[in-house]
Structure 1
């Protein structure tokens, strides 16, 4: 196993850890969980998490990437693009071009880079059909970049565990605590950590998503994601306005 000494996570709400804990007690998330796994194998890891909810690909290029590279990490995880996928209007082609630029700069850093595709939301959410073509396009770009730049790839699309409603929070877009545990296990496999395996893709006792369950998920998505998003949009605000990263500097991983 390669020993990593400086790990920086960049991204949006998924990497920040929404729905794995809360803002009062503290968010955890897959990146925190991955950092703990790495530190358990080789104590002394320094870890920063620059992710902020609501951020898009361009935000990473402008805000997070320069800060991350200045820390000279030897490991970077990047999970970004869902806020671009769901943003209405003629912006998606530009977002994919920005993603290509982001991948190129990450490759130039010399760090090991772990990236991820997005799951097939149509398996749990009827409205997922509306953005299905965009999900396919961004996943194609992510896979191509992983092959071109020798990134470690976590391929969530098509993994049976991603169709389990228990993997997802009440808004059916962010991972639940169980989901974040699975995401961390998938990243551990991508990094070939001792004890890792592909078991995360189909955990024991998973529940298949029925038509009724998907309809219920649609209601949860509307109440917990769509309506708050519409209210913020009417006021010209973003979910991440006024927020900074939860771990802006490299520090030792807490026990």
Structure 2
């Protein structure tokens, strides 16, 4: 991918009325929501430069968690923290972050996977990570298609992609977990096990909206999940 890569890390749906009302009422929620546009713009600019590089490529797919919403800066989310860890341990790379705030699995299928295909037209990425599905389990109408869409997502990912499961009690999240474990056992994906290896408590690790992780919460995700997925053995 050359100089023409320009991927907008912005959602295609307007903010819903419930979230708009909550943002108007609670300053903590409003403060985190105000990160969305500048963080998307930051990654868009970063990605333009990274896409032109020659180092091994890491492509991150996902939603607000991967965009870094809740952290103090776009590059202080789990992706930015892990990228620095890789550099410190000698794995020099370029990172393209395709995450979009509010993304559901269908958005990965429709927007992020085609962008991944464009980025890897001349050769595979060294690393592909996926954190998605949390926005699908919120409403029943989205949960109905979650397992089907997640299966399609896994079918279209390159072998060896690193994929997180969903630490959520809904049946659909448990079905996705079983599917991921089967794919991991077959060597198709590397499972980041947030259900079993995620933090037991998020006390002190949440942003002011009490939903997204803050810098410390993002660091916990890196330490407890990504380290245990043996990513840092690269």
Whether the TM-score (by the shorter chain) exceeds 0.5 is yes
Corresponding position of 2:149: 98
- What count of residue pairs does the alignment treat as equivalent? 175
Corresponding position of 1:21: 72
Q: What per-residue deviation string (whole Å, max 9, x for no partner) do you get for residues 98-156 of structure 1?
A: 111111111xx34x311112225xxxxxxxxxx63343233223333333343221111
Gaps of 5+ in 1: 121-130, 197-255
Q: What per-residue deviation string (whole Å, max 9, x for no partner) do you get for residues 44-83 of structure 1?
A: 3111001011010010011001111322212011000011
Report how far residue 85 of structure 1 moved: 0.5
Q: TM-score, normalised by structure 1?
A: 0.61
**Residue 42 of structure 1 pairs with residue 105 of structure 2:** no
Equivalent pair of 1:14/1:174 in contact (CA under 8 Å): yes
RMSD: 2.4
Report how far residue 178 of structure 1 moved: 1.2
CA distance in 2, matches of 1:156, 1:53: 20
**Residue 184 of structure 1 pairs with residue 232 of structure 2:** no
CA distance in 2, matches of 1:32, 1:140: 29
Residue pairs, 1:1-255, within 5 angstroms: 5-22=56-73, 26-42=74-90, 44-72=92-120, 73-89=125-141, 91-106=142-157, 109-110=158-159, 112-120=160-168, 132-159=170-197, 161-185=199-223, 186-193=225-232
Q: SS at the partner of 2:194?
A: coil
Corresponding position of 1:213: none
Corresponding position of 2:4: none
Q: What per-residue deviation string (whole Å, max 9, x for no partner) do you get for residues 215-254 of structure 1?
A: xxxxxxxxxxxxxxxxxxxxxxxxxxxxxxxxxxxxxxxx
Q: SS at the partner of 1:153?
A: strand
Report how far residue 14 of structure 1 moved: 0.6
Q: SS at the partner of 1:180?
A: helix
